[in-house]
């Protein structure tokens, strides 16, 4: 990056911007179209929508793992042309490498050539710090087969954090976890986004999860079954944290989102 580009990146109002995005698999009908969205630094945006409406496909387009058929993606104010090392992905399954221990999994790939250069000591320090952030410091020598689901997902989160991401793109990262672990992970995500000054786009099916963690909620869907999906509704969530303490406001927003979801069902 040139000096000017670095300054632009540091002062960019948005960590991530998608402009007028459309996407189709092969020659098929577009899955979604006219999708524009922004995520600001330290902001968590949740993306809700029915199964199959294209949330995961949109996340892949925003990460540049798939090419949009139309539109552009900007990362920190710069056009994104390939996956960026400071934009980290977390998926529903932690997908750890079974032959590496926890520390090995968190550090894996950090010294690959497309990553910013890093020496051994710095790499170890990053791994240590990321494991501390997800409360797994004493577990760095364990292997994936020895971890519970919640621990494995925390390792996946640490692996993302070790990249010092300015953007986290997470696709239903907590949906396979039990209710208590899930609630812990939601709190952790909010803390980490604030503490590490990252931005997050969280795909979820769970309205309550969206309300508990997000600063803004987007609802993706189709107005007609044969139409490509779009972003149809947006809510700013200004409920004070911890949001569990504001049950009436949470309930009101939940009902509002449910009504929007139901209105899509009848199209
Ligand atoms: N590799 C692929 N090739 C062709 N079509 C695909 C492919 N992956 C997904 N699709 C189709 O694209 C549409 C959107 O899928 P996508 O996985 O993005 O939805 P989603 O909103 O993430 O769903 P879910 O909530 O179930 O995860 C679906 O109709 C799906 O069948
Ligand atoms: Mg999906």
Over residues 176-210, the pLDDT tens digits come to 888 888 898 899 899 989 888 899 999 999 999 99
Question: Using one digit for the tens of pLDDT, what is the confidence trace for 208-253?
Answer: 999 999 999 999 999 888 899 999 999 999 999 999 999 999 999 9
Contacts of residue 115, defined as CB under 8 A and 6 or more positions apart, other chains included, come to: 85, 109, 163
| Predicted TM-score (pTM) of this structure | 0.92
Instruction: Let me know whether 140 and 15 are in one domain.
Output: no
> How far away, in angstroms, is 54 Cα from ligand 1 center?
5
- Ligand 1 in reach of 30 Cβ (< 6 A): no
- pLDDT for 182 equals 87
- Residue 92 within any structural domain of the chain: no
- pLDDT, mean of residues 105-116: 80
Q: Point out the ligand nearest to the CA of residue 57.
A: 1
The verdict on the CB of residue 251 being under 6 Å from ligand 1 is no
Ligand 1 centre to CA of 52 (Å) is 5
pLDDT beyond 60 at 144: yes
**Nearest-atom index, ligand 1, CA of 25:** 4
Same domain? 57 vs 115: no
Residue 26 lies in a domain: yes
Phi and psi at residue 224, to the nearest 5°: -130, 145
> Please, which residues have CB within 8 angstroms of residue 184's CB and are 6 or more apart in sequence?
150
For residue 221 and ligand 1, the question of a CB distance below 6 A is answered with no
Which residue in this structure is represented by tokens 């996340």? 59
Ligand 1 atom closest to Cα of residue 59 = 18
Residue 82: inside a domain, yes or no? yes
Mean pLDDT of 22-36: 96
Q: Does residue 140 sit in the same domain as residue 257?
A: no
Q: Are residues 189 and 68 in the same domain?
A: yes
DSSP 241: S
| Domain shared by 124 and 69, yes or no | no
**Peptide bond just before 242 cis, omega within 30 deg:** yes
Overall number of domains in the chain: 2
Burial of 219 (0-12, 13-18, 19+ CB in 10 A): buried
Domain boundary among 138, 164, 190: 164
Q: Quick one: pLDDT band at residue 167, thresholds 50, 70, 90?
A: very high
Residue 26's domain comprises 3-86+165-265
d(C-alpha 202, C-alpha 208), whole Å:
13
State which of 136, 164, 192 marks the end of a domain: 164
């Amino acid at each position: 990056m040139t000096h000017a580009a670095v300054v632009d990146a540091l002062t960019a109002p948005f960590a991530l911007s998608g402009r007028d995005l459309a996407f189709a698999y092969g020659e098929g009908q577009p899955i979604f179209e006219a999708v524009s969205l922004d995520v600001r630094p330290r902001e968590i945006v949740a993306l809700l929508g029915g199964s199959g409406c294209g949330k995961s496909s949109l996340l892949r387009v925003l990460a540049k793992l798939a090419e949009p058929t139309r539109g552009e993606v900007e990362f920190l104010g710069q056009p994104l042309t390939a996956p960026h090392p400071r934009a980290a992905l977390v998926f529903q399954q932690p997908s750890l490498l079974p032959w590496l221990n926890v520390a090995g999994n968190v550090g894996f790939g950090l010294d690959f050539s497309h990553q910013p250069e890093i020496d051994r000591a710095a790499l170890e320090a990053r791994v240590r710090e990321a494991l501390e952030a997800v409360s797994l410091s004493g577990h760095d020598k364990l292997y994936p087969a020895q971890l519970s689901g919640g621990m494995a997902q925390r390792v996946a989160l640490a692996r993302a954090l070790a990249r010092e991401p300015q953007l986290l793109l997470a696709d239903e990262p907590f949906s396979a976890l039990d209710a208590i672990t899930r609630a812990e992970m939601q709190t952790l995500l909010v803390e980490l986004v604030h503490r590490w000054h990252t931005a997050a786009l969280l795909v979820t099916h769970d309205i309550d999860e969206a309300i508990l963690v997000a600063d803004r909620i987007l609802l993706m869907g189709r107005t007609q079954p044969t139409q490509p999906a779009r972003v149809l509704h947006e809510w700013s969530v200004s409920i004070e944290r911890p949001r569990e303490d504001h049950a009436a406001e949470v309930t009101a927003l939940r009902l509002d989102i449910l009504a929007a979801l139901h209105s899509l069902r009848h199209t």
